[in-house]
Structure 1
Amino acid sequence: MVRTEPTGGDEAAPAAEARPSPAVLRAGGRRLLRAALGRTRALLGLLVLCTLLRVLATLATPVMLAQAIDAVHTGEPLGAPLARLASVLAVAALADAGEDLAGSYCGSRITAWLRHRLIGRVLELGVPGRRRFPTGDVLARLTESASGPAAFPVQLVSVAATLATTAGAVLALALIDWTLAAAFALGVPPAVVVLRAFVAQAGEPFADYQRHQASIATRLLDAHQGIRTIRACGTAAREAARVLRPLPLLREAGHRTWAAQGRVGWRLSLLAPLLQVVVVGVAGLRLATGAITPGGLVAAVSYTALAVGAVALFDTFVALLNCEVSAGRVQEVLDTAPAVAPPPRPVALPDGPGRLDLRGVTVRIGDRTVLDRLDLAVPAGAGVAVVGASGTGKSVLVSLAGRLLDPQEGRVELDGVPVTAVAPPELRRAVAYAFERPALLGSTVHDMIAYARPGATRAEVRRAARTAAADDFVRALPDGYDTPLDRAPLSGGELQRLGLARAALADARVLVLDDATSSLDTATEVKVTRALRRLLARRTSLVVARRPATAARADLVAWLDGGRIRALAPHADLWQDPEYRAVFGAAPRAGA
């Protein structure tokens, strides 16, 4: 039951963001993966140690087996060779178990770290970030992309272990007979060429596949939020088609990925047994000439199998590439600079009456200029209603006061201090907001009202609720103020009153109401309006007004038109202008 608090319908549609190239995505992923490994040094060290023991035990096993076979062949005692073979096998089993344990803990820590960083950055990006990274896309990155790199430490160490095992096996072949190592070396260059070609070809389809998955998730989340409208309009089939529209692109990206894997897979599946036949054939010839013993032949066959096991690196490379792409999608969000960044050297906000000044403010959203060199002076303690036709930027304008977004040009000052120079926590205490659709944040109704002041007492919370005419219906809930939010059946008007109570509890010097009473019925609005008069009498307020009555209650009306303030005057004076009345859809002779 979580609702968002948009800056309003006045914002322009976001411009399409250019997505990073696969090379850039993977480069960012590598940077993040290196940082992630640095966060798990101790566990990574344990993983490497266990892997090293397993590799050494694996390489020693054929030697121990050959010694046992030669002991049988020559009639020597078997006790010592069998004991050494059993010891090596036991070390390999214990090391393998240690690998699994260390790898699991390492991966879970990386996932947790990535998710914490991703959530923190998404919250820092605020409303502008939501335009670039929609909710469904963020969820896809948070779940799939952030969990993908969990396998990276294990896969990376696995590559090192496989390469070490292969190198050790080839060295052992050379020690048995140099011709065996030479025969194996013939197959290395083709394998390297094939793997390099795969990495070059598969990066883009991997990235496209994850991007199209996120697109489907975003569309599905949008449909879920609008499920009542869909059911009411009988458009479920059409909406399902819209949600699944990226499916052909997803299928095409998947086919490209699988095609790249298939082209490499069949080549390696032919190369591995062919190479093994060649090496074993050479070993057989050397046995026939007496150059190696029967135990040496068995060891050569075992080491050849270990060396050819490097072909399995293909599957590991696929997993590593997926880790890179997943980490790159997380890094893409982390690399996005917040539109509202904290000042490097914050300035303390002096005590003041709450005078607000906007000087030459320009705000562009996408390709559209919403506010154009706008000037507005809000006197301290005055109530100013912001009025304008739909799409003129009313919600954008009031968002500037508390730095929910920053203008591209101009400056916003609170009591003579630029808001960009004030530390965000201090500014949040000075400017409070109530929105049309408040978010249900916290565990209980008490927590929601006290969200900005978690240390508030029950008496303070109830006082704020009474100010917003919310105390009666809250006490009628199953557990009163302790009712969990997911068990609180709230209407739109009740939700707005809780949002007003939250703003009242903040006790800020500037109060911004972004259409915060639109869902109230007439009787409730009268009660809330009476309470708001007491609340707003002591402070500066900006109120987005879409009703004439709301504008009439304000001291001044800021008439927004064409990205600028067309007039700043009392509602009664502006009402004489037919164009002003038309903003509310009023007839020329209508009164306030």
Structure 2
Amino acid sequence: MPRRPTGWTLALGLALPTGAAGTLALPAALAGAVDAALGRRSGPGALLLLALVLGTAAAADATAAAAGPACSAEVTAALRGRLVRHLLALGPGGRLHGGPPPGDLAARLLGSAGAAGGRLPAVLGAATALLTSVGAIVGLGVLSPWLALAFFAGVVPGVVLIRLFLRQAGPAFARYQEAQAVLAARLSDALGGLRSIHAAGAQQREATRVLAPLPELSAAGHALWAAQRRTAWQATLLIALVEVSVLTTAGALLADGALAPGALAAAAGWAALGAGLFEQVEALVGVAHARAGQARVDELLALAPAPCGAGALPAGGPGQVELRGVVVRDGDRVLLGPLDLTVPGGRTVALVGRSGSGKSLLAALPGRLRDPDEGTVLIDGVPVGTLAPTELRHAVGYAFARPALVGRTVRDALAGAGPTEAGAARADGFLRRLPSGWDTPLDELRLSGGELQRLGLARLLARPARVIVLDDATSGLDLATEYEVTEALDRATRGRTRLVVAHRAAVAARADLVAWLDAGRLRALAPHTTLLTHPDYRATLADTALRAAAAG
């Protein structure tokens, strides 16, 4: 839906044509003043008209100078807000998977959206300059058709010059922004793994990888500068030739008595304004820059959210989760499946497997944090894709290793959790020690990984979800606290279906069943005690426990 024009947009839309009209009227007013000074006219009217035109043009230019940046800022803010809402609405269900990485998304949000925000002022400025030049040519034609003909001698090469510049500048800007995005994505990845990079002593190697796009960035920038430089000197030469041609023709007409002295001054002014058509390199750079930014933003806005239904789950359902023929891919590589799995309602199933076996990927499927590329995921016999979003959020609750806290204060972030839930998650103790307790602003929190996990668990317990998914949600807790929290979770979620990503044998032992994953496939679904007879299962548990200990 089009956005309603703001005050700054309207001010810019009025100031630019007003300034253009004043600029166009200036040569005519100056001609009248010259004729008045030479005694060809009487009275102060010509001088007053010149002062009025000068004042109007100056006021309009000042207004445009203030309104242009303000309009760009407003449009940029609105575009960034729209882009953020759109990206969040896409959800994690796979629409962004395989697309731009987080660093690229940040570059588009900050850089490309900022460039696109200047599109309206750039286009209005270029259009106004074009109309001003056209008006000046009309003015020359009014003075004498010969002056217009003299000017048109340079129009054809000028148009060719502009088209060549746009053809070169557009791709150069696109290449420049793409290289910027790759650089930002690699830097974001490097900062996220900074501890590992330093631990491996790989700083120089990683710096080389991050900075690898710089040659392409430099090449794109130099290509743009070369196009600007080439167009600038060609436009300057063309302008000089056009103005000399017009003034020579005007001088000849003046010598023949066909033009008044003031008309010569008007011809000089309109020739300069008309020739401005060929020197709009800066305005065209702004338009090309904005178009390239808008194209990169539009790529994200073109992504459609995953389709949602309006269905509901049967009342009182046990929370049975079924995966039928599920396959999840990353491009041509299969990450998970083909896989068939039934998690009986009210039972606890531990997901066990080595790193990369697909545990977290499987855990993401019931709540549509990732949609399968093939197959169907059902809760109590209803495909999750047919459920209304609010119904699905109420049906499936998650707790993660690094839960995100959303809101202004701790109370907001806990989303309805109270002292009972905080106590069950063993979060009540450190919450009482916070400066303002539950009303402590989130940006003042300094929490350990374990404390953050306990807040996530407290938030989860406040929801009456029939399916509970714990994805490494207690990995930051010491063994004693983990035992206490697990006991409390068992009591608070008794009778609900639970999927637990397990890294420790004790967690698998507490589950009713273990789904043993191996390279994205379900190797077995059986009780922990049954699987313990298999040496590969024991080795898998030992490997995951070792990795969990190293990560902690």
So what's the TM-score if we normalise by structure 1?
0.87
Q: Are 1:64 and 1:85, in contact at CA under 8 Å, matched by a contact in 2?
A: yes
3-state SS of paired residue (2:38): helix
Q: How does 1:237-276 map to 2 (within 5 A)?
A: 237-276=204-243
Counterpart among 522, 527, 539 of residue 582 in structure 1: 539
What SS class does the counterpart of residue 518 from structure 1 fall into? coil
1:249 partner amino acid: E
Please name the residue that 2:328 is paired with. Answer: 363
2:136 touches 2:271 (CA, 8 Å); kept in 1?
Answer: yes
Map 1:510-529; keep pairs closer than 5 Å.
510-529=467-486
Q: 1:131 to 1:521 in 2, by over 3 A?
A: farther
* Aligned with residue 512 of structure 2, among 555, 561, 583: 555
* Letter of the structure 2 residue corresponding to residue 88 of structure 1: V
Instruction: Please tell me whether residue 182 in structure 1 is matched to residue 139 in structure 2.
Output: no
In the TM superposition, 1:297-446 aligns within 5 A as 297-338=264-305, 340-343=306-309, 346-351=310-315, 352-446=317-411
- 1:106-255 alignment to 2 at 5 Å? 106-127=71-92, 128=94, 129=96, 131-255=98-222
Which residue is 2:452 aligned to?
Answer: 495
- The CA deviation string for residues 242-280 of structure 1, in whole angstroms up to 9 with x for no partner, is 322211111111111111222222211111112111111
SS in 2 for 1:40: coil
Residue 59 of structure 1 aligns to a residue whose secondary structure is helix
In structure 2, runs of 5+ residues without a counterpart are 545-552
Distance 1:218 1:153 in 2: 29
Deviation at 1:463, TM superposition (A): 1.5
Answer with 107-116 or 237-246: which moved more: 237-246
Percent identity between the aligned chains? 49
Q: What SS is found at the alignment partner of 1:132?
A: coil
Q: Distance in 2 between matches of 1:448 and 1:413?
A: 29
Output one character per residue of 1:395-451: Cα deviation in whole Å (capped at 9) or x when no partner.
11111110111112211111121110011122011100011222233333323222x
Of 512-521 and 349-358, deviating more is 349-358
2:46 is the counterpart of 1:89: no
Secondary structure (helix, strand or coil) at the match of 1:349 reads coil
Deviation of 1:560 after TM superposition, in Å, equals 2.0
Q: CA deviation at 1:219?
A: 2.3
Equivalent of 2:443, from 468, 486, 493?
486
Deviations 1:285-330 (A, max 9, x none): 2212222111111111111111112123222111101110001110
1:128-173 deviations in Å (ceiling 9; x for gaps)? 3164222221111111111112322222222222222212211221
Aligned mates of 2:123, 2:394 — CA distance in 1: 48
| Equivalent residue letter for 2:58 | A
SS of residue in 1 equivalent to 2:314: coil
Aligned residues of 2:98 and 2:331 also touching (Cα < 8 A): no
- Give the match for residue 477 of structure 1: 434
User: 2:206 and 2:4 mapped to 1: Cα distance?
Assistant: 44
Per-residue displacement from partner, 1:477-509 (whole Å, max 9, x unpaired)? Answer: 333222333332322222222221121122211
Residue 36 (structure 2) aligned to one of 33, 46, 71: 71
Q: Give the superposition deviation at 1:76.
A: 4.1
Q: Does 1:293 align with 2:260?
A: yes
Distance 1:323 1:414 in 2: 47
Q: Residue 80 of structure 1 corresponds to which residue in structure 2?
A: 45
CA distance in 1, matches of 2:499, 2:258: 95
Question: Which protein has greater RCO, CA pairs closer than 8 Å, 6+ apart?
Answer: 1
Give the AA of the match of 1:439. A
In structure 2, the CA distance between the partners of 1:563 and 1:151, relative to structure 1 (3 Å rule), is closer
Cα gap change, 1:255 to 1:438, in 2 (>3 Å): same
* CA apart distance, 1:586: 7.3
Displacement of 1:385 in angstroms is 0.7
* 1:348 counterpart letter in structure 2: A
Q: Distance in 1 between matches of 2:199 and 2:356?
A: 27
Q: Deviations over 1:207-254 (max 9, x none)?
A: 111111122222222333333344444444443333222111111111
* Paired residue secondary structure (1:584): helix
Q: Which moved more, 1:289-298 or 1:564-573?
A: 564-573
Unpaired stretches in structure 1, ≥5 consecutive residues: 1-34, 451-455, 588-592
Aligned partner of residue 74 in structure 1, secondary structure: coil
Aligned residue number for residue 27 of structure 1:
none
Distance (Å, rounded) in 1 between the aligned partners of 2:381 and 2:500: 21
- Is 95-104 or 206-215 further displaced after alignment? 95-104
1:99 corresponds to: 64
Partners of 1:496 and 1:158 in 2: CA distance: 53
Q: Does 1:55 align with 2:12?
A: no
Which amino acid in structure 2 is aligned with residue 415 of structure 1? D
Following the alignment from structure 2 to structure 1, what is the Cα–Cα distance between the partners of residues 185 and 433?
Answer: 37
Taking the aligned partners of 1:41 and 1:234, their CA distance within structure 2 comes to: 53
**Contact 1:136/1:221 (CA < 8 Å) preserved in 2?**
yes
1:542 match: secondary structure = strand
CA distance in 1, matches of 2:201, 2:361: 34
Task: Figure out how many residues of one structure are paired with residues of the other and give that number.
Answer: 541
Deviating beyond 6 angstroms after TM superposition, the runs of 4 or more aligned structure 1 residues are none
Give the corresponding residue for 2:550: none
CA offsets 1:92-130 (integer angstroms, 9 cap, x no match):
223333434544443333212211221122223334316
Partner Cα separation in structure 2 for residue 542 and residue 107 of structure 1: 49
Moved more, 137-146 or 562-571: 562-571
How far off is 1:331 after superposition?
Answer: 0.5
Give the TM-score taking structure 2 as reference length. 0.93
Alpha-carbon spacing, 1:242–1:561, altered in 2? closer, same or farther (3 Å): closer
The one-letter amino acid of 2:169's match is: A
Deviates more, 1:560-569 or 1:353-362: 560-569
Q: CA deviation at 1:181?
A: 0.9
Distance 2:404 2:183 in 1: 25
**Of 526, 536, 540, the match for 1:569:** 526
The Cα of 1:75 is off from its aligned counterpart by: 5.9
| Whole-angstrom distance in 2 between the partners of 1:517 and 1:169 | 74
Q: Retained in 1: the 8 A contact 2:358–2:519?
A: no
Give the conservation status (yes or no) of the 8 Å contact 1:40–1:110: no
